[in-house]
Amino acid sequence: MVRLNLGSGAVPLEGWDNLDIKDGRGAYPLEVPDGSVDEIRASHVLEHFSHTMTGAIVKHWVDKLAPGGVLRIAVPDFEQVAKRYLAGEPINVQGYAMGGHVDAYDRHGALFDRECLAEVMADAGLERIGTWTSEAEDCASLPISLNLMGYKPCSTLAEIGGVRACVSSARFGPALHHRCAWQAFVQLGIPYDVSVGAFWHQLICEAIERQLSDPKCEFVLTLDYDTLFTAADVMELYRLMRAFPEADAVCPLQSKRSSRDALFTICDDGGKPKDRAYAADFARNLTRVTTGHFGLTLFRADALRNHPRPWMVPRPDAEGRWSDDKIDADIDFWFRWRDAGRTLFLANRVVVGHLEEVVSWPSLDYSPIHQSWSEYCEIGRPAEVAR
């Protein structure tokens, strides 16, 4: 096996090729062929580069890995350092944040917390990102060390193994949008089950159960008949699920029909939906949310298999009426999902469409004016079409 220990310093490891800048062998760029290394270990090396370079450096290391190879990275955990500092504990904040400055190499150019480092590793193409424990008495064994590892996929995926799709379809009406499913699922080799009927929540639960009965099913993909998407959208959801094991389900960003809202909610610690969020909350690949949409959502099959039944129960309001305060079956599912300790993440960069009825009118110059059905019901025909 080819194993590189980057930034080995005074703690070389037996059985590894130990590289250190002080010996004239730096961690970047690596002078080895792409795809030739089984394991790379970078203990407290990455933070010594500029924060503008860390993404490219990790991607470079991943390129050097053979398919199935593992990359282990350790860096100072700035979140832990900050918490201990704010708690009044004696801690060398300057050293952990800026470096020891004992020589020209001992200077830091980047800060990391777990979410930030995992994001960099996922963007570089790693999957199954998790923690690791140092086998040596080096910086990676320090209490403030953040140690994450990830695996390079064994091959470039042309098909997705272990995914089964459940498609809910309208009983009648336009069906051209089904070509999204046909094209994507045939291209990716995903078997799918189509359900047609009036009681959506019952049908989708039954379809999911049928897919879970297949022991080879690792992921279940739910799809509404009115969602527009591509095979690339499915691939990215799958990649994110492979990269972040803490995600039990991942949904794309999708707009609510006839509304200015997006189809997700974030709740506070008391379970009440928040009415405000910030752009920074959605800057990374995944954002933890409470509810999403079943339009194109990927679930871990084992999380569903072990999820308490019933899954979906529509509930009226406190007076027994089906007012705006009711809880629909899909929202009830997500509350049960959360209460069972399951996680749902919004894939911020996976954007899919939501079909909506549109009315077209001839303008005064006979070019079309498009109006949503909900707007027509509210204000009538557009003033621009009046003769």
**What is d(CA 131, CA 129) in angstroms, rounded to the nearest whole number?**
7
Written out in words, the top-level CATH class of the domain with range 163-353 is: alpha beta
* The predicted structure's pLDDT at residue 173: 65
**Residue 26, pLDDT above cutoff 80:** yes
**Location of each CATH 3.90.550.40 domain in the chain:** 163-353
- Give me 79's structure tokens: 């979140």
User: Any bridge partners for residue 75, and if so which?
Assistant: 146
Average the pLDDT over 348-372 and give the result: 92
CB atoms within 10 A of CB 333: 21
Nearest CA among 192, 230, 169 for reference residue 353: 230
- Give me 283's structure tokens: 């800057």
**Residue 8, pLDDT above cutoff 80:** yes
pTM exceeding 0.85: no
Pick from 58-67, 230-239, 271-280, 332-341: least confident = 271-280
* The predicted structure's pLDDT at residue 372: 87
pLDDT (tens digit, 9 = 90+) per residue, 121-161? 999 999 999 999 999 999 999 999 999 999 998 866 556 77
Nearest CA among 345, 135, 138, 167 for reference residue 239: 345
Which CA distances in Å does 62 have to 28, 43, 93, 282, 309?
12, 15, 31, 25, 42
Written out in words, the top-level CATH class of the domain with range 3-151 is: alpha beta
**Location of each CATH 3.40.50.150 domain in the chain:** 3-151
User: Any bridge partners for residue 315, and if so which?
Assistant: 327
**What is d(CA 25, CA 322) in angstroms, rounded to the nearest whole number?**
69
